[in-house]
Structure 1
């Protein structure tokens, strides 16, 4: 079976004020269709950087990153943007909603960019799926953090992506809202048949995943691979 995501000997280095910083070291990893994979590890271990490589939001310094059979490391920025638009949904810890747009407009935006004529109908369906149809005309500033993250989830799921990436989706939420977001995230994954990769410090969220990979110092911790946080 061909993996949905495949990384081979990936490294990532970035230039900082103190010189070259080595963030990821020789990561090789496959994610299968429909799988949910949790990336865990201490702060600074490279979890979010690895997720950004999977989404084409960072370019690997060396090695290859393949998603849905497409080599991301050979694409330019425009090609990567189109690929994400058509095939990926990404949820960030800090929501990244457009403040001048309503919840409905935020969710409809990626669908409009992709040329879907039923963008607003589909956007409303996704808001209904996360229990926010009554907030469709509200702006982000009029919603709680939990509600904003629900809108962000609806926006990521609206294009029905084959790959869903989430970076600490419960990190800015209290326990009750975090638990609700976990349920919604896996519900959206199941509804659209997406492959889910998420970064988390939450044991509860990690335990919901089919498989867990622990990172330590920019490497896969082989001794802990497959164990929960």
Structure 2
């Protein structure tokens, strides 16, 4: 058996709030295998997005460990984490996080340029074409619909060919038609490039298309919930 791409061992997350220390995640232990598609589901406030942020090194575990591709994310400083995400991870947010002063082409090319890719704009153009937006390359985010902006965000996340793709409610701001198209694109990227995909979703149809579903409740893995295991 190969080592897991992502491995959490007793990971906890606590944050300081106005009312004092808040316990967000409680001793989570979880492995994600290479090439697996994992859906994180559960009620609002259950810790799904916080767990995704731990996996991406965007939040630091208060205790326990978070390993990605054999690297201890807790042992890296912020610069090392940023370089690790640049080289190995793609992150897609519900609110797109496109740079408003850049065109679609420039948004997709930016992480490639940061990685020193000489073909950054050629690759960006190819990625936009792959998500059906080659004709919108010169448009700014404000000139595009929500579905189009999410497709640009997907192109940007997948362009560097990350081993790990993390998506936080990727269909949450979209209507059913656009949401279905984004689901198809996400799974297509996994199939084409072999990325390990972890996503947070409230969509039953999206979760049903994943290899495995994990349910969270009150910051804990809901071991009593029915989940579809990977073959």
Shift of 1:189: 1.4
The answer for the alignment partner of 2:85 in structure 1 is 84
- The TM-score, its normalising length taken from structure 1, stands at 0.98
For structure 1, the 5+ residue unaligned runs are none
Residue 61 of structure 2 corresponds to residue 60 of structure 1: yes
The answer for the alignment partner of 1:140 in structure 2 is 141
Shift of 1:191: 1.3
- Per-residue CA deviations over 1:179-212 (Å, capped at 9, x if unaligned) read 0000011111111110000000000000010000
For structure 2, the 5+ residue unaligned runs are none
The answer for the alignment partner of 1:186 in structure 2 is 187
1:77 and 1:107 map into 2 onto residues whose CA distance is 23
The answer for the alignment partner of 2:43 in structure 1 is 42
1:225 and 1:197 map into 2 onto residues whose CA distance is 18
Residue 94 of structure 2 corresponds to residue 93 of structure 1: yes
1:34 and 1:225 map into 2 onto residues whose CA distance is 22
The answer for the alignment partner of 1:170 in structure 2 is 171
- Per-residue CA deviations over 1:132-168 (Å, capped at 9, x if unaligned) read 0000000000000000000000000000000000000
2:119 and 2:69 map into 1 onto residues whose CA distance is 26
The answer for the alignment partner of 2:223 in structure 1 is 222
Structure 2 contact 10–65 (Cα < 8 Å) conserved? yes
The answer for the alignment partner of 1:9 in structure 2 is 10
Shift of 1:227: 4.7
2:188 and 2:221 map into 1 onto residues whose CA distance is 28
1:106 and 1:32 map into 2 onto residues whose CA distance is 30
Shift of 1:226: 1.6
Structure 2 contact 11–63 (Cα < 8 Å) conserved? yes
1:145 and 1:227 map into 2 onto residues whose CA distance is 31
- The TM-score, its normalising length taken from structure 2, stands at 0.98
The answer for the alignment partner of 1:154 in structure 2 is 155
The answer for the alignment partner of 1:108 in structure 2 is 109
Counting matched residue pairs gives 228
1:136 and 1:82 map into 2 onto residues whose CA distance is 27
Shift of 1:40: 0.2
1:159 and 1:144 map into 2 onto residues whose CA distance is 24
Task: Classify the secondary structure of the residue corresponding to 1:58.
Answer: coil
Task: Classify the secondary structure of the residue corresponding to 1:12.
Answer: strand
1:96–1:56: structure 2 CA closer, same or farther, 3 Å change rule?
same
